Amino acid sequence: MAEQKLHFVLVPFVAQGHIIPTLDLARLLADRGVLVTLATTPVNLSRNQAFVSRPAASPPADLAPPCCIIADFCNPWLRHVARELGVPRFDFYSIPCFYLLCEHNLMHHKVYEGVGGDDVPVVVPDLPVRIEVTMAQAPGIFPPPGWKWMRDEVSEAGSSSHGTLVNTFASLEPGYISFYEKVKGKKLATDAANRGDKPVINEEKCLTWLDSMELGSVLYISFGTLVRYPLAQLVELGLGLEASGRPIIWVIKARELQSAVEEWLAEGFEERTRDRILIIRGWAPQVTILSHPSIGGFLTHCGWNSSLEGITAGVPMLTWPGFADQFLNERFLVDVLRVGVPCGMKRPFWDETVIRGDVKVKREDIKKVVERLMDDGIEAHELRNRATELKKMARSAIDVGGSSEESLTQLINEVSLLAKKQTISATEIQQEKD
Ligand code: UDP
């Protein structure tokens, strides 16, 4: 019997934070000789063209039938497609096991029942570390009105999939992974490369700027791809950064760059801070920046990709979550890994006060946390030491023979076995018919 070529179909959710880790996985699989089809929209394909066109050792696409579907957890509808095609489906989570476990425990123990308000913190049950979270900060569990159907769909798809892939690595969250594995699953990690859109800044220019700064002295600031803050909050952040006196790279995404923001920058801020604050307007080469030795801290919105990139680069973080999994990711960085210092965001960014344009984090507080993270005090040293440890752990996970490599092998072997079983039973059915 001819050996069946392995063909994985990957379907990310259409948002950069989901497409980027799926592309990482696609490339890792292609490097192992698996034929990979990635389904996305033309716009999203063109945004990631640089990454997609990198050479990979994938065999030519000769329409081998798919052996499995890897479905982003936000695409629960794929369970119907997989069932129709008769192929196994693996869910792909671009959020950590820590989050999945918190969500599971909060729901299982119905913790929020009877709690008097969505600002009241509760303790997440059955965790080795004390974690507090409010109902407003856990929107995955209590989605905004009108989205309950999505939560139910995701949970239904999760319980009927063949297996679970999580973008993490074994030594980062061993206790949380093993608990989650009791439900079902496997784990994977990604490697680092620039991802997503074409950077708006010339990478050389950015690196030359970083080269001119002292080792570990620069704070890098990015709020990811979706969270968008109003002018008043950006101004407050800018003034806090200016008062800190530190060298900074500040990414202001294209959708935040309204004319009012440009006017404010032009009114003096950019001129006053030109020698030490580099503003990137649009897409930044984040992974390259984070791995530069001049970077000493990362102010992040706690998106899971950014959190993992900060961990892999070994930089301590200032945490400023926006929504979705980000508040629990903040708790993970601050309370579990202890590589983060919170900036003080308490409510999700879709909160009406943010939409109205209120300031949620004040300039004095921003100045204070930047100092805590970037100065020479004991706390900053400890944060840096732990971040360096995590970087080493991340490196060994993706090394040859590391846990992430091992997980990938297990996944490929399992799909291969399933494909063989399917081929054998199809042959038997055919023989019976003949
Ligand atoms: N990113 C980037 N340059 C930017 C903004 C974002 O390279 O200017 C990348 C970042 O490295 C990360 C992803 O986009 O891989 C953002 O994903 P994350 O989960 O952190 O945030 P979200 O997309 O959910 O806001």
Q: What is the pLDDT along the chain (434 residues), one digit of tens a residue?
A: 556 689 999 999 999 999 999 999 999 999 999 999 999 999 998 888 776 665 554 455 566 799 999 999 999 999 999 999 999 999 999 999 999 999 889 988 999 888 888 899 999 999 989 999 998 898 776 677 778 888 889 989 988 999 899 999 999 998 888 877 775 444 434 344 556 677 877 788 899 999 999 999 999 999 999 888 888 999 999 999 999 999 999 999 887 778 888 899 999 999 999 999 999 999 999 999 999 999 999 999 999 999 999 999 999 999 999 988 999 999 999 999 999 999 999 988 766 666 677 888 999 999 999 999 999 899 999 999 999 999 999 999 988 899 999 999 999 999 999 998 887 777 777 777 77
d(CA 402, CA 191): 12
List helix spans (H) across 184-294: 203-211, 231-244, 259-264, 270-273, 286-290
pLDDT at 274: 95
Any idea what the Cα angle at residue 124 is, between residues 372 and 186, rounded to 5°? 95
203-395 CATH: 3.40.50.2000
**Residue ranges per structural domain of the chain:** 7-98+139-191+400-432, 203-395
How far, in Å, is the centroid of ligand 1 from the Cα of 372? 25
Ligand 1 atom closest to the Cα of residue 253 is 8
How far, in Å, is the centroid of ligand 1 from the Cα of 373? 22
How far, in Å, is the centroid of ligand 1 from the Cα of 422? 39
Q: Is 306 helix (H, G, I), strand (E, B) or coil?
A: helix
Spell out the residues 6+ positions from residue 33 whose beta carbon is closer than 8 angstroms to its own. Answer: 6, 57, 58, 59
d(CA 249, CA 212): 13
Nearest CA to ligand 1 atom 13: 17
Ligand 1, pocket-test mutation among 14, 16, 25, most atoms within 8 A of CB: 16
CB 327 within 8 A of CB 137: yes
189-211 pLDDT per residue, tens: 434 455 667 787 778 889 999 99
223-269 pLDDT per residue, tens: 999 888 888 999 999 999 999 999 999 999 887 778 888 899 999 99
Ligand 1 atom closest to the Cα of residue 280 is 8
- Please tell me what DSSP assigns to residue 59: P
Amino acid at site 288: T
pLDDT at 150: 87
d(CA 332, CA 95): 11
Per the rule left: phi > 0, alpha: psi between -120 and 50, beta: everything else, 302 is left
* Residue 17, token pair as written in the block: 């934070």
> Ligand 1: residues whose CB is within 6 Å?
16-17, 20, 195-196, 222, 224-226, 251, 283-284, 286-287, 303-306, 309
Nearest CA to ligand 1 atom 7: 286
Strand pairing report for 340-342 and 89-93: unpaired
d(CA 32, CA 34): 6
How far, in Å, is the centroid of ligand 1 from the Cα of 305? 6
Q: Which residue has tokens 């608990």?
A: 179
CB 281 within 8 A of CB 200: yes
Nearest CA to ligand 1 atom 2: 286
How far, in Å, is the centroid of ligand 1 from the Cα of 53? 20
d(CA 416, CA 429): 20
Ligand 1, pocket-test mutation among 166, 286, 289, 301, most atoms within 8 A of CB: 286
User: What stretch of H or E contains 118?
Assistant: none
Question: How many CB atoms sit inside 10 A of residue 221's CB?
Answer: 23
ipTM: 0.99
CB 224 within 8 A of CB 303: yes
* Residue 218, token pair as written in the block: 């620069």
Strand order in the sheet with 186-188: 35-38, 7-11, 68-72, 89-93, 163-167, 186-188
7-98+139-191+400-432 CATH: 3.40.50.2000
CB 329 within 8 A of CB 304: yes
How far, in Å, is the centroid of ligand 1 from the Cα of 215? 24
In 3-state terms, the chain is what percent helix, strand and coil (to 5)? 50, 15, 40
Same fold, 7-98+139-191+400-432 and 203-395: yes
